[in-house]
Amino acid sequence: METADTSTQAPGEVAPHHSFLFPIGYSNSSECGYCRRSRGGQSAKRYSYYAIATSLTPAFYQKLVDRCWRRSGTLLYRPNPRHSCCPHYTLRLDSTQFKPTKDQRQAVNRFNRHIIGDTYAREAARLHPRSRAEVRRRHNVFDLVERIHEPETDVLKSPPAPDHVFTVTLEPDTFTEEKYDVFENYQRIVHDEPPDKISRNGFKRFLCNSPLSRGTMVGAGGKERQLGSFHQCYRIDGKLVAVGVLDLLPDCVSAVYFLYHESIHWLNPGKLGALREIALAREAGYRWWYPGYYVHNCAKMRYKIEYKPQYVLDPEDLRWYPLDKEALARFDSRHYVCFSREQQADEKGSYDEGIHGGTTEPPLPEVAGTNSNRTETSKARENDEEEEEEDEGEEG
């Protein structure tokens, strides 16, 4: 399938390119990494549509993401939540309306104190005193963008010198041994993955060299925004300690995966990474932060709903609905939730269980094409199953 972006572009925007997608088919995975069901035991139901992308424009991928698709390396997939044992839902957060919770603010402040140190804090207060108005403002208002950047070496006033040198850089999503060392440590220690399941090829396949083209665009406010796939690299005293894998799209910062070295686990790096990505969405003008799929019955996914306000994409009418207490209550009481149909049912005063997540499985469509297409479908299922455990990482 070949698609082209033909919209008019402002000066500085990425030049038009084509997106090349090769449909694979619709099939059921043999195992679910969320509920641990498999065909050997209780039946797994992981029906998804699959395609392979050799080239994707950020604008076209934005449209796919807003239609419940995600990518894993070059593999594109759209789960069918109505016929899945663990329904997947697309979430997004409005960074301009985001207000961090007390716990999230404390995580940022704790990390900043660790980097800056008590000696720097005392000396800086003496050498570079804040005005009363500034002290009052900081006491009353937690400016996320300001606090996130506060411990960075190029932001700190000197002298004095902080306890640690902290830098964050946005780099191309290319493979390096430095990045792989952090990935290997994260998968083996934090995810408890067997060493023989961790490989450089796996890291390259899923988290490096994505099919997204890189470029820039100028937003409505005149801000230039990066587009494409990047690695947001966190270094302390010159050592790489964390990597956020990001897809930067015209209207969002899409979180792909976050990995970190075990040595900083105590600093809540997953939480800090999410907050920095939200800050990036706000300050660079992307506005929306997409934390990836949400699976309600997976405990490891619950951290995602701690960031508010969020919206959930209806898998049928493709509109966004508030992820509020009422929505979460629906998730608690239903296996599958379609918000547009729920809304209609509320208006009619009736609820059709047959429509909302009945247990009847659809027949598996035959994949059109040659036997090689069927082989690709099998490979796609295997890749999807491998990626299950890696879905966006987890909060530290």
Position 160 in a domain:
no
pLDDT at residue 351, rounded to an integer: 54
Local confidence band at 76 (pLDDT 50, 70, 90 cut-offs): very high
Mean pLDDT of the chain: 86
pLDDT digits (tens, 9 = 90+) for 129-181: 999 999 999 989 999 999 999 999 999 999 999 999 999 999 999 999 999 99
How would you label 122-141 residue by residue, b for 16+ Cβ within 10 Å and e otherwise? eebeeeeeeeeeeeeeeeee
| Percentage above 70 pLDDT, the chain | 81
Domain that holds residue 108: 102-149
Torsion sign (Cα): 207, 210, 212, 218: positive
Position 325 in a domain:
no
* Entry pTM: 0.86
Q: Are residues 117 and 203 in the same domain?
A: no
Average pLDDT of the residues in 283-293? 97
Q: Are residues 126 and 211 in the same domain?
A: no
Closest of 251, 246, 248, 234 to residue 169, by C-alpha? 234
Q: Does residue 50 come out as left (phi exceeding 0), alpha (psi in the -120 to 50 range) or beta?
A: beta
pLDDT exceeds cutoff 70 at 229: yes
Local confidence band at 31 (pLDDT 50, 70, 90 cut-offs): confident
CA atoms within 13 A on the CB side of 32: 25
Q: Are residues 194 and 109 in the same domain?
A: no
DSSP, collapsed to helix, strand or coil, labels residue 206 as helix
Which residue in the block uniquely carries the two structure tokens 């090829």? Answer: 201
| Percentage above 90 pLDDT, the chain | 73
Among 23-32, 122-131, 333-342, 363-372, whose mean pLDDT is lowest? 363-372
Local confidence band at 12 (pLDDT 50, 70, 90 cut-offs): very low
Average pLDDT of the residues in 63-70? 98
Q: Are residues 224 and 193 in the same domain?
A: yes
d(CA 117, CA 113): 5
pLDDT exceeds cutoff 60 at 339: yes
Position 303 in a domain:
no
| Domain at 182, CATH number | 3.40.630
Alpha helices per DSSP H over 141-227? 144-149, 177-185, 200-207
